[in-house]
Structure 1
Amino acid sequence: MNVDKLFYENLFEGLFSDPCQVEFWDGDINQFGEGDTKFRIILREPIPKSEIIGDSSLAFGEAYMQDKLEIEGSVREVIESLYKNQESFLHKNPSYLKLVKFISNGVRKSKENAQYHYDIGNDFYRLWLDDTLTYSCAYFKSPEDNLLQAQKNKVDHILRKLNLQKEQRLLDIGCGWGELILTAAQKYHVKALGITHSQEQYEHVRSRIEHEHLKDWVDVQLLDYREIKNQVFDRIVSVGMLEHVGKEHLGEYFATVQKLLVDGGISLLHSITGRDEKGTNSWINKYIFPGGYIPMVSELIRQMESHDFYLLDVESLRSHYTRTLEHWAQNFEQALPLIRESKDESFIRMWRLYLQSSAASFNCGNLDLHQFLFSKGPNNHLPWTRDYIYN
């Protein structure tokens, strides 16, 4: 098959901010950029030009998954080098940046999307998450904090912000494996309800409730937030769940929180945020988080204002998520012998690319992580300074 290699040479010319080598399928090696080579890309076979032009994210992501493209060096450094080069065709030519067509996430579709990502096995997540199975940005109070300590710090940080009072009712929308609701009940003696779409998370939380004798204080249900009826709560928290709601349903999320909160009630939203309106890319949408959407900070604040919430506090934890992902990626690589017992190489390469590209995105500032604290109506009972969070 005749392949116009000139297309690929032009493609890699000026693509990265760092000098690199590219080895083509015929053995030819080209140097791009001046200076010491930082990484090497091996194209084992050509990627169809139409796929690169039509959807570069999907084309390169699938080529890496299928071992048609190999990277010698750090996967994260390659992606950061790509992000940092504002002069590349990816940044200059919008036609190369294909946006995802957003599909409405109704209740059934939301459940399917969540189960696609979270029900691939608790045993898999145990191999590279911390002992609490917390799968969201940690909070590093010092460089010496390990992942487990940082995840406990994060839960404590959130619960302090909520200013919980004894016997209040707390709802956790998207409770994961339950660390936050269990800690809230144990430390603050609140009545906590966690909801999740994941069968495996649900069973894990139920087991922990039984084991820790918290049936009178904690409940977990397989439920969509829109399915909660005839209940109200003093506090509502959502950690890493809003990213699954979808662009078309952001208003529905805030309307539901407004309905479920008591007057003066407080909600904390912990969410990845983006810097543009793209929301996600097609590779992530197809293989990692179907139906996902990353909102901008301005988008979320407009939603809060339009639903008559009072914004109390906003905090960026972007650097904390970079560090969290570094821990996850390192744990993932160390666990490969065990992961390979149940997962094939395509799956492994997919997850490596997901973790490393996410770390690159947060480190480069393409993505951020924000915590928003807001109330239903004015709340005049919160302390006037942030001392209550840090003391």
Structure 2
Amino acid sequence: MFLLSHMMKAFIRKGRLTVIDADGKAHVFSGEPGPEVTMRLTDKKLYRTLVFNAELAAGEAYMDGTMRFENGSNLRDFLALFSMNRLSLGSYPIQKALRAVKMRFRNRQQANRKGQAQQNVAHHYDVGNQFYKLFLDENMLYSCAYFCEDGETLEQAQRNKLRLLAAKLCLRPGMKVLDIGCGWGDLALYLAKLEDVEVLGVTLSKEQQALASQRARDAGLEGRVRFELRDYRDVDERFDRIVSVGMFEHVGVSHYDEFFKKLNSLMPDDGVAVLHSIGHMSPPGMASAWLRKYIFPGAYSPALSEVFAVVEQNSLWVTDLEFLRVHYATTLKHWVERFEKNRDKVVELYDERFARMWEFYLISCEMMFRTGSQLVFHMQLSRNRDAAPIVRDYITDRQKAYRVREKTLNLSL
């Protein structure tokens, strides 16, 4: 417990953390005024593992029930405290040294070669569509929503996001659109209804491809909207527009050149691509060991410097850039609330450990966007500098026009 106590003293700069060890002894660590959390550790092995792999050990301990919270504290309180103090943890000598070693192997951690990429995606997305219906919006959009006003529902905010993306794509009837990482298909279906375009959605998830294809048939759009189980690297058609939402996080830094080179090759000179991705405002790093092991194998949300460098090498113009700084925190809060309402059903489908794993994932992600360094960015790309209008007002104007068109076409939520 000595080494853990030493780290905790350096770690807690804001708030107060009381740790009750396996023998029932309380250890108090405090800094500036802030949240107060009481945590009980029931396994002495945690004294060491928390020092040498804090995020992995904490997540596993919560999943196993060997880390519990008392005196009115809960997981959300702990993760909020953790996020507020994350920089001091990262500067602790042992953590700093271990991070330097792990950074040398991060390309291996982010390997997403063909075949392996599908295995990584299946680990997360093929756990069953029924599970995702328990906490996502009605149209099953699994990415950051866009909240234009206070009090909007998750469904309204997700529609706002689709409308925003459609506006940035500068669509015209008859265009061919590629949706890389199409999820359960709502964006592709929305675009096809809104602007009479032809859309190909590609995904590596069998569950997503099956449900998206069924939705296209149900909507009578199977002639203009296709969903295929295909790696984007195997696509060889040409497209006027390309959109990718929440997929770039699964590419990996060593594959960025491959990704942007492919985008360039699939577009004509006046083509437009819009990339919606998680990133972070801090220097290059790596995903947490717990997230890689249990939630997203091979995943990494990049520093912006890592993206721009490769875009420049592939002769692409960044014609627009926008940051959604707090929208994902609000989105995740909605998901957490819906997850908790259906927690008993999650346990029935899987088990208690699985439910705890997803609680840890959803709440920790919310905190990363609320008090951590995570953000979402929209990057509009083209070969030509003037492929999109040179005054940004068109994005707002198109969104307004699309709101009217949705009502005319009866595009209900």
- Using structure 2 for the length normalisation, give the TM-score: 0.89
Hey, what's the Cα distance between the residues in 1 that align with 2:283 and 2:358?
A: 25
2:29 corresponds in structure 1 to 32
Moved more, 71-80 or 258-267: 71-80
User: Is 1:46 matched up with 2:52?
Assistant: no
Hey, what's the Cα distance between the residues in 2 that align with 1:349 and 1:22?
A: 20
Query: Aligned-residue CA RMSD in angstroms?
Result: 1.8
1:196 positional shift? 0.4
1:184 corresponds in structure 2 to 191
1:260 corresponds in structure 2 to 266
1:22 corresponds in structure 2 to 19
1:77 corresponds in structure 2 to 77
Task: Decide whether the 8 Å contact of 1:47 with 1:59 is kept in 2.
Answer: no
1:212 to 219, 243, 246: 219
Task: Decide whether the 8 Å contact of 1:310 with 1:377 is kept in 2.
Answer: yes
1:96 positional shift? 4.5
Q: Are the structure 2 counterparts of residues 388 and 143 from structure 1 closer, same or farther at C-alpha, using a change threshold of 3 Å?
A: same
Q: Are the structure 2 counterparts of residues 223 and 43 from structure 1 closer, same or farther at C-alpha, using a change threshold of 3 Å?
A: same
SS at match of 1:259: helix
1:95 corresponds in structure 2 to 97
User: Is 1:359 matched up with 2:366?
Assistant: yes
Task: Decide whether the 8 Å contact of 2:10 with 2:92 is kept in 1.
Answer: no
Q: Deviation per CA, 1:243-294, whole angstroms, max 9, x where unpaired?
A: 1011110110001111111111000000111222212111111111001122
User: Is 1:283 matched up with 2:270?
Assistant: no
2:178 corresponds in structure 1 to 171
Task: Decide whether the 8 Å contact of 1:42 with 1:70 is kept in 2.
Answer: yes
User: Is 1:387 matched up with 2:393?
Assistant: yes
SS at match of 1:123: helix
Please show how residues 187-202 of structure 1 align to structure 2 within 5 Å.
187-202=194-209
Task: Decide whether the 8 Å contact of 1:47 with 1:63 is kept in 2.
Answer: no
1:88 positional shift? 3.4
Moved more, 182-191 or 340-349: 340-349
SS at match of 2:300: coil
1:9 to 2, 5, 15: 5
Task: Decide whether the 8 Å contact of 2:19 with 2:28 is kept in 1.
Answer: yes
Please show how residues 243-254 of structure 1 align to structure 2 within 5 Å.
243-254=249-260
SS at match of 2:240: strand
Task: Decide whether the 8 Å contact of 2:347 with 2:354 is kept in 1.
Answer: no
Moved more, 57-66 or 350-359: 57-66
- Using structure 1 for the length normalisation, give the TM-score: 0.94
Structure 2 unaligned runs (5+)?
A: 398-413
2:59 corresponds in structure 1 to 61
Task: Decide whether the 8 Å contact of 2:50 with 2:58 is kept in 1.
Answer: yes
Hey, what's the Cα distance between the residues in 2 that align with 1:243 and 1:87?
A: 23
Structure 1 unaligned runs (5+)?
A: none
2:411 corresponds in structure 1 to none
Task: Decide whether the 8 Å contact of 1:14 with 1:33 is kept in 2.
Answer: no
Amino acid at match of 1:102: N
1:86 positional shift? 6.2
Task: Decide whether the 8 Å contact of 1:102 with 1:291 is kept in 2.
Answer: no
Give the share of equivalent positions with the same residue, in percent. 35
Aligned pairs, how many? 385
1:191 positional shift? 0.5
